[in-house]
Amino acid sequence: MGRRGPRRRRRARRPRRCAARVRLRPVGTGVPAHQRATPVRARHDDAGPRRGLRRVPEGDTLWRVANRLSPALVGRRVTALRLAPPALASEARRHRVEGSTIVAVEARGKHLLVRFSTGVALHTHLGMTGSWHLYRAGSRWRSPAHLARVVLEADGVVAVCFVPRVVELVPEKDEGAHPTLAALGPDVVADGFDAFAAVARLQARGPLPIGAALLDQTALSGIGNIYKSEVLFLCGTDPFAPVASLDAERLREIVDIAHEQMRRRVLAPIVPTTDGGGRAPYWVYGRARRPCRRCATLIRAARQGRPSRTTYWCPRCQPSRPSG
């Protein structure tokens, strides 16, 4: 057999461009570019140390959702509203939502209210799996259509709520008697947060551990499991201490720091809880059996409250007080 000549090197192929990548162009909807075809539920926990933790969005998340939805929806006319289950759709027709104007999008604790000019509000609670997305009309959704429970179309803008825990229409005249909304405590994220009322409501839960009391949305609304653990660490407070064992000054410190931290996240959502020095991401939340960032003591975790939630704390920075 004759000798073969040297092999010819093949030219490297250029990688194919992804045909599915579509550049979004303005279509005159008035929706800011950063809001087009993007989910508007802020993923405020993904930078944390344990991504597998499932959690209910806290009050600061709902405020950020409201802040994203409001400029895109308020003042627009509702051209279509599709709700599931079907019974809600007939209720929407009864309240003449289609053709009305969206007058406000509000966060209240962990709840979101979209208000219409006909005097009715769309109330949603996201639970652990829900999210609001905002799209241009005709854009491809990022979640399957069969998971949509609310599809709100308003002059070229489409707001979609996927798998929320609660969807209902509430006449504004009935909000004062609503079993959940009317019972909510002061909203810890609100600019006009009533700290005195929040302290008084906490004091009324004297025997309850402070970690469980902070999650009671009828005491103060908006705090969830992350801020419960983080705020109590920043205050050096044992999460299992009964509320009655804490004086009014300590309770005021707790609610003030909660308000400060959560407002900071609304105004600058990439900033996690800090002591002002910018250290991050979390002090104790999700860090069980890892060294405390202050004293190197191992962080502990235990279930607390009803329903039980995991509480994280540093036994050295948050020492327990002797009983009696």
Among residues 57, 164, 209, 272, the one annotated as catalytic is 57
Residue 82 near residue 92 (C-beta atoms within 8 A): no
- Burial state string for 269-300 with b = 16 or more CB within 10 A and e = fewer than 16: beebbbeeeeeebbbbbbbeeeebbeeeeebb
Among residues 36, 58, 201, 265, the one annotated as catalytic is 58
111-116 vs 166-171, strand pairing mode: unpaired
Neighbour tally for 224: CB within 10 Å: 22
How far is residue 55 CA from its own chain's centroid? 9
57 catalytic residue (yes or no): yes
Structural element, H or E, at residue 70: helix 59-73
110 catalytic residue (yes or no): yes
Structural element, H or E, at residue 88: helix 86-94
Among residues 110, 149, 205, 287, the one annotated as catalytic is 110
CB proximity list for 142: less than 8 A, separation 6 or greater: 37, 38, 39, 133
58 catalytic residue (yes or no): yes
> E-assigned strands of 156-286?
157-162, 166-171
Closest alpha carbon to 219 in 305, 125, 319, 291: 305
Query: Based on the number of CB atoms within 10 Å of its own CB, is 152 exposed (0-12), middle (13-18) or buried (19 or more)?
Result: buried
Residue 255 near residue 195 (C-beta atoms within 8 A): yes
Active site residues: 57-58, 110, 309
